Structure 1
Amino acid sequence: MGYKITMSEIGPISLNETDPVKSILQNVSIILRTIKGSCPMYRGFGIDATLIDRPIPAAKVLLFSQIREAIEEYEPRVRVKSVDFDTQEEMQGVLSPIVEVEIVDES
């Protein structure tokens, strides 16, 4: 089953989430919202912020790759099925990824 995660779906973070699906989806959301280098002792975690100044077509390709790699590395219980971008926000010069993941291991 696929789950879509968007940047607009930010909610409260549960530090003791007991539902494994919610915990996994929350972890993916945190990966997407974290700027690489901003976590002490975990500098490789997140997405590279240097993409901000790139042209949209180039940034989309690089962001797609970074999202896939970051999720594969830091949340191995999911597989990235697709990465799309919100076209409404893209028209305003904002890249807002919509990531579809499939849970492969709920433990």
Structure 2
Amino acid sequence: MIYLINSKDDINYNPQNEIEDVVRNVHMILRVTKEEQPLMRDFSLDSDMVDKNIPVIKNKLIGLLMTNLKEYEPRALLKNLDLKLENNDLEIMLEIEVII
């Protein structure tokens, strides 16, 4: 089944089942930048993407997300990625398939 994840949505910190747990973990990968995790410096997204244009960000994000999902949340497969820029605010929308 395909699940939609939006970087603007609230994170469910109290998952009730394994699917919600996978969705929460993917949300965390989307929201955290590499430098924010003291003991896991390579976890999550690279803050060097700031000030890059959308096509460059999208290509870089696809690679980063595929690598991070494979390493940190292998139960999620990236199916689609869309970016929306509005008022200098980037919104990331993902479609993932959860494999349990």
Bin for the TM-score computed over the shorter chain? 0.7 to 0.9
Q: 1:92 aligns with which of 76, 79, 87?
A: 87
| Paired residues, number | 100
Structure 2: 5+ residue stretches without partners: none
Give the CA RMSD over aligned residues: 1.6
Cα deviations by residue, 1:75-94 (Å, 9 ceiling, x for unpaired): 001111111123xxx14343
Partner of 1:24 in structure 2? 22
Tell me whether 58-67 or 44-53 shows the greater mean CA deviation.
58-67
Partner of 2:2 in structure 1? 2
| Matched-pair identity in % | 28
Larger radius of gyration: 1
Task: State the TM-score, normalized to the length of structure 2.
Answer: 0.88
Instruction: Select the structure that is richer in strand.
Output: 2
SS in structure 2 at match of 1:83: strand
Cα deviations by residue, 1:23-51 (Å, 9 ceiling, x for unpaired): 11001000100101211111111100110
